[in-house]
Chains A and B, each alone.
Chain A
Amino acid sequence: MREAGNPALHRFAVLTACCTFLLIIAGALVTSNQAGLSIPTWPFAYGSVFPPMVGGIRWEWSHRLAAGAVAILTAILAVYIWVRESRQWVRILGVIAFLLVVAQALLGRFTVKTFLDPPVSASHATLAELFFIVTVSLAVFTGKWWTGDVPQLHDEESPRLFTLALATSCVILVQIVLGAAFRHNAFGIIPHLIGAAVVVAMVFWTVLAVATRFRKVRDLRVAARYLEILLGLQILLGGAAYWAVLAARDAVQPTPLYVTITVAHVAVGALTFASSVFLTLRCYRILKPSHEAHTETSTERALS
């Protein structure tokens, strides 16, 4: 029998994950508005906590304030988990989340000090997504679904659905790195386009495996549905974002349309990654290799 979850802790983890998602949007707004270097000093704006909120300073300073708020939330979450959580690996993950947000802040400083050096900026964008995934994972691990009884099902086919979902998550991560590298001028669009094709193939394979092997398992079916919807939206946004980048190439300043589309592409990319990891975690929780699998008490609950 598994221990009952802590609803308050879970809610706080969800809050932290949601705020992290908003922070990713704030960061994307900085990049799309070309405001990353509008405040040459770090962490304060030339010694001030209240700089004039005009032009690019609005985006950059808002991003830093949001980052500070998320760092505080993460620190509280890590302590909260450490105090109230009995699972050692969840406690360690809470500490990792805190270390990641600190590393991300230092990387943010590094982007300012290196004048947005492409590898540094791309790393900052990538680490943001990894941190987001850790906060999403903590929200999942502290939730009632994870800590409660769930069915243990066989997965006798090869490759296992868990392996497939994990591989898809890794491919999406690589695609995020390629997208960040393109966005921060490290290299061209071709690698990102190839990555998109691979992601589509992997997601299609994974979703198909869910549909054919576990059509009646609602927990997996719903997670796979999130993934395919978000991927479809992301592909459309990707095409629109590339068009926006080309259209804005000779523009004297970022246009609202360019900013909206590119920020949406970053945001939905983060959600696509999160949904893939969510499916992976659900697969891990529910599916066991045939030699390990045994059915627990509430198998029927998960079946629609």
Chain B
Amino acid sequence: MNRKFVCWAAAFVLSAAIVGCSKSSNQSSSEGQSAAPAATKTVDMATAGSISGVVKLDGAPPKYKPINMSADPYCVKANPNPVFPDEVVTGDGGTLANVVVYVKSGAEGYSFPTPSTPVTFDQKGCMYTPHVVALMVGQELQVLNSDNTTHNIHPTPADNREWNKSQPPNAPAITDSFARPEVAIPVKCNVHPWMKGYFAVLANPLFSVTAKDGKFEIKGVPPGTYTVEAWQEKYGVLDQTVTVAASQAATSDFTFKAQ
């Protein structure tokens, strides 16, 4: 029995170690993603046009219960009125907020400089402001903490490097960037599990995020025909083909069906 028992225990430990060590083969699998075709042309702003439109929801939006913030007294105090999730935010006439509209394909031949202005993502009242941010590959992201409580910022990408950093009150901004396009990277706070947002990382600067009025405008679009995609976290994506003439404004509206 004595030897038998020790052998069993050793076998258990070995099995657990094997399972534990089987990780991480997929963590670096995205490192060698194929690069986009070589971009040679630059955008001539004199002939560039724009794409604008409105994103709407066809049907009734989901009804949400107020978020229970009792896990952190600061969050309760910071929100005297009920706070609802930002998953589906609609305006008058069913206009839809937090939709990323971007040129998905057709602009591969152009080279675009990475915007030098950082994108800010704030934690305010134990919610993310804005709920969805869009930025270009390599563009600096600044994460702020305007709250008097500790948050952790944890993006969970599929094709980019995952990170998780804590940010106490009055801590300096956390800066980072993403190396590959990815629409969209969920970001969450594990201290306050209701805090969920998204980073949409795009290959070019031809994108816009809708406000509550559902409106978007993508400027600086060179003449050509493009596939424009609208992404919404609950309802998925819609694609449209849009042609932009030189120095002209093209219009493209999107309507998501409520589930």
Is the CB of A201 closer than 8 A to any CB of chain B? no
* A residues in contact with B16, CB < 8 Å: 103, 107, 123, 126-127, 130
Interface string of B211-244 (1 = CB under 8 A from A): 0000000000000000000000000000000000
Q: Which one, B42-50, B150-158, B175-183, is touching chain A?
A: B150-158
Tell me the total A-B contact number using a CB cutoff of 8 A: 120
The reply to whether B3 and A252 contact each other, CB–CB distance below 8 Å, is no
Q: Which bucket holds chain B's interface residue count? A: 35 or more
| B142-196 at interface with A (beta carbon < 8 Å) | 149-150, 152, 154, 156, 162, 164-166, 168, 190-194, 196
Residue of A nearest to B168 (CB): A46
The reply to whether A96 and B6 contact each other, CB–CB distance below 8 Å, is yes
Residue of A nearest to B196 (CB): A252
The reply to whether A51 and B150 contact each other, CB–CB distance below 8 Å, is yes
The reply to whether B23 and A54 contact each other, CB–CB distance below 8 Å, is no
Q: Which one, A30-38, A212-220, A263-271, is touching chain B?
A: A30-38
The reply to whether B5 and A93 contact each other, CB–CB distance below 8 Å, is yes
* A residues in contact with B9, CB < 8 Å: 93, 96, 130, 134
A46 to B13 alpha-carbon distance, docked (Å): 31
* B residues in contact with A124, CB < 8 Å: 20
* A residues in contact with B3, CB < 8 Å: 89
Residue of A nearest to B162 (CB): A115
* Known A110-B20, A127-B16: A54·B162 in contact at CB below 8 Å: no
A183 to B35 alpha-carbon distance, docked (Å): 36
* Known A54-B71, A56-B192, A57-B191: A89·B19 in contact at CB below 8 Å: no
The reply to whether B72 and A119 contact each other, CB–CB distance below 8 Å, is no
Q: What is the interface size of chain A, counting residues whose CB is below 8 A from a CB of the partner?
A: 48
Interface of A, secondary structure class, is helix
Residue of A nearest to B154 (CB): A37
The reply to whether B191 and A55 contact each other, CB–CB distance below 8 Å, is yes
| A171-222 at interface with B (beta carbon < 8 Å) | 173, 177
Residue of A nearest to B86 (CB): A252
A58 to B190 alpha-carbon distance, docked (Å): 11
Is the CB of A253 closer than 8 A to any CB of chain B? yes
* Known A54-B150, A57-B150, A122-B19: A100·B13 in contact at CB below 8 Å: yes
A7 to B6 alpha-carbon distance, docked (Å): 24
Is the CB of A85 closer than 8 A to any CB of chain B? no
* Known A119-B22, A253-B67, A284-B1: A40·B165 in contact at CB below 8 Å: yes
* B residues in contact with A87, CB < 8 Å: 2
Is the CB of A254 closer than 8 A to any CB of chain B? yes
Is the CB of A244 closer than 8 A to any CB of chain B? no
* B residues in contact with A117, CB < 8 Å: 23-24, 27
* A residues in contact with B5, CB < 8 Å: 89, 93, 137
| B1-58 at interface with A (beta carbon < 8 Å) | 1-3, 5-6, 9-10, 12-13, 16-17, 19-20, 22-24, 27
Instruction: List 11 A-B residue pairs with CB atoms under 8 Å apart, sorted by A's residue number.
Output: A33-B193, A37-B154, A38-B191, A40-B166, A89-B1, A114-B24, A117-B27, A119-B19, A123-B20, A252-B87, A253-B193
Q: A34-B193, A130-B13 are in contact. List 7 more A-B contacts (CB 8 A).
A: A46-B168, A54-B71, A57-B150, A87-B2, A96-B6, A119-B20, A137-B5
